[in-house]
Structure 1
């Protein structure tokens, strides 16, 4: 039986920052650089429109928006932010506008929720050819919209091995849940085409950091996301119903999912999304480093994730999963390749889940997961096995696991014998709901055509669990 999830639901805004809230070792110089303004571009300096730096009590929104509007009216160009940190309410970016924030300068969210009336700091809708660059940053002031956690971060390993459900509650006691004033995301682009974010930092979001909702032609590179890892719902990059997206050479430190693909009625265009590539990224997240789901009412296809590092090794408990591939609401998720991943401190290295939450209705037992290859995976500090699970009515199809080397975290094994593992057919899928399974390497259920090649797992020395446990799996091959 589960205890109820712990959650702080009331209290005052809590702004104190603890050791362990922010990742201390981001190699900024590997991603960010000082660079000159684009030559020949029509440029408006926000200071020429009345912006005043380094004053928390002065809202620069009118000045910055005037600069954006002027550049847009000119047919495109550059809005130049330099000379300090400029407090502002919500802004709207428009077609043809490059927001160039000089390294060492910032646009910072107002601490007055009334100023954040668009539900984000920076918004764009149906815009074309927009860009964030310059080496500077947007700052969301996340703690100023959050409640106090029940406990400070855990910066040392726990004295004894905990079960994954206990680890989940330990993490939740450290979350800064939302204050009623919380305004929303840091950046939200809806229905945009030709989006580029490069040489840029997004810092201390109050919720999702970069939402790409129904966009096409997106190029993200040399982006640093540096969030308080205990502020709730701070996803790093949300690719929501967007296609032709490339995310490369980014460093993401955040409290919720690092890079996540979603596609639903509200998150997307109401049609299939495809062609998403993630490569050469480092992600440290308290939840899932890379995830497809949970919102999955419309199809997701042709996804490649390669040459990445997923880790959480300076605070405890570790991340929920390194890789999570889910269809819960009727989507067909197919043609997914994940390869060349190094992990440290991820509770579950890989979680593949097909179920029938059907959150938007009308898609009852319509989902599918098919044609998934995960290969060349190295993971240290795991707590539970690779999980591949469907339902009696929905079978995961054609999964290949190749070249895995998994090593468990130190300590005594945690044994949680259960003759029956609930299917969780119609609820929110999460690997830690399944607790410490009776296998240490692979647990698979309701799958067809599952191929495992070169799969090595080093369990805890005292384990009594089996390496592989299969339930209702057909066409299983072990090489």
Structure 2
């Protein structure tokens, strides 16, 4: 990239700087690359397109607000649909050497994207169509550093079929009641990393996935991804693989992270036929707490499952997964649950020290198997359900929440093969709360389970 620098200037009283910023990006790109520096102050913009070898720089004191009118994102249309939306604030397609940098802020004003007043199963009720903040498709040599993104209305950063990605020292601070506000989604990306970030999201903080894509040129595996030295909070899952798994996911490392005020800490969810393998969780501290039923999960440190999204489908396999050096506290069990058509295989749990505590929802010790076939829906009615989130039966109970056979255990294994537990210690209260299993570990349909230090008690069901 050249050293060409363009400082965006605005006239007195001007707040919408869309045209000025886009013209600067176009000019710097045409000149061979460089940096576009936004002015300090509070500004509003419609959709922007980033181009090759351009660094969009937000200095200290710059707050760039996203328009709150969905029509203003017409120029930000992308090919991969998410939550029914095909639009985003900052987009790029088939570009290289692009970056967003600085210590300024992008503000998404998520409160303007609610469709109903109040909370429903613990979440706001979002409008049908909301933009993502950043969507890059088929780009390479990407750097996202330093900036803060607050109150995203939907997915914050969605990178699709991108390669050689660095996300460093970002702060993503979303409203913890706004659904679908994932922090960073690596979708069919390769050679990507997140380092030294702070991410708070009502949905997944970091997610590695392979979404359905109408443009087949964007299909491909997600592989060689590292997330490290970050602080993460999520009302869904802090570090997650899936649920969208239409292609393979492999060689992912989550390490040396601090997970606080989260529902689930680590999750792997196979649903759509893509295979998942060679996944590592290591040297992390976790604090997992139950959430209202509008969020998937029940305060688990580790959840791994392989289940069909649609009746009759077969999920891809999950194998060669290891969790090592995980410490902290949780309010739900470690769950490893496969399917009769696709067992989970070759899982190793090592050096795990967890304190299992009573949750604030004592009547909700359940195995959350969402997304299930019930959740593939178009519902938009608080009495029945919210699209692709939850569905109630006639009794008002949310479908996909299953009771454990004998109450809440510390570890639940079902439809799994070749499971090794090496120094796995789950501390439970001396007097077990109501709804808890007397057994620390419960086994369903499993084969070849090895405990290097025998669990205090086992129960086969």
TM-score, length basis structure 1: 0.78
Q: Distance in 2 between matches of 1:379 and 1:449?
A: 26
Q: Deviation per CA, 1:423-479, whole angstroms, max 9, x where unpaired?
A: 997566999823456342110001110000111112233325111111111110001
1:374 and 2:323 matched: yes
Q: Distance in 1 between matches of 2:63 and 2:368?
A: 50
Q: How does 1:15-414 map to 2 (within 5 A)?
A: 41-47=3-9, 50=10, 58-117=15-74, 118=76, 119-151=87-119, 172-180=120-128, 182-266=129-213, 269-312=218-261, 319-346=262-289, 347-357=299-309, 364-365=313-314, 367-380=316-329, 382-410=330-358, 414=362
Residue in structure 2 matched with residue 472 of structure 1 by the alignment: 445
Aligned 8 A contact 2:173 2:200 in 1: yes
Q: Distance in 2 between matches of 1:412 and 1:106?
A: 38
Q: Distance in 2 between matches of 1:288 and 1:352?
A: 12
Question: CA 1:373–1:52 in 2, change beyond 3 Å: closer, same or farther?
Answer: farther
Q: Distance in 1 between matches of 2:109 and 2:11?
A: 19
Q: Which has the higher strand share?
A: 2
CA RMSD of aligned residues (A): 2.8
Q: Distance in 2 between matches of 1:424 and 1:67?
A: 44
Aligned 8 A contact 2:270 2:315 in 1: no
Aligned 8 A contact 2:288 2:301 in 1: no
Question: CA 1:417–1:311 in 2, change beyond 3 Å: closer, same or farther?
Answer: closer
Aligned 8 A contact 2:172 2:199 in 1: yes
Q: Distance in 2 between matches of 1:64 and 1:423?
A: 42
Aligned 8 A contact 1:321 1:349 in 2: yes
Q: Distance in 1 between matches of 2:98 and 2:124?
A: 33
Residue 204 of structure 1, CA deviation: 1.2
SS of 2:26's equivalent in the other structure is: helix
Question: CA 1:472–1:281 in 2, change beyond 3 Å: closer, same or farther?
Answer: same
Runs (5+) with no aligned partner, structure 2: 77-86, 290-298, 376-388, 391-398, 453-461
Question: CA 1:376–1:427 in 2, change beyond 3 Å: closer, same or farther?
Answer: farther
1:450 and 2:419 matched: yes
Q: Deviation per CA, 1:259-290, whole angstroms, max 9, x where unpaired?
A: 00110332982222210100011111111111
Aligned 8 A contact 1:105 1:137 in 2: yes
Aligned 8 A contact 1:59 1:110 in 2: no
Residue 178 of structure 1, CA deviation: 1.4
Name the count of aligned residue pairs.
404
SS of 1:150's equivalent in the other structure is: strand
SS of 1:218's equivalent in the other structure is: strand
Residue 310 of structure 1, CA deviation: 1.0
Aligned 8 A contact 1:415 1:436 in 2: no
Q: Distance in 1 between matches of 2:361 and 2:31?
A: 65
Runs (5+) with no aligned partner, structure 1: 1-37, 152-171, 313-318
Instruction: Identify which range, 205-214 or 432-441, moves more after superposition.
Output: 432-441
SS of 1:235's equivalent in the other structure is: coil
Which one scores higher on RCO, CA 8 angstroms, separation ≥ 6? Answer: 1
Q: Deviation per CA, 1:331-389, whole angstroms, max 9, x where unpaired?
A: 11000000011111341111000112259x9xx42510000001111121x22210000
SS of 1:116's equivalent in the other structure is: helix
SS of 1:230's equivalent in the other structure is: coil
Residue in structure 2 matched with residue 315 of structure 1 by the alignment: none
Residue 406 of structure 1, CA deviation: 1.3
Q: Distance in 2 between matches of 1:421 and 1:59?
A: 45
Q: How does 1:411-426 map to 2 (within 5 A)?
A: 414=362, 426=373
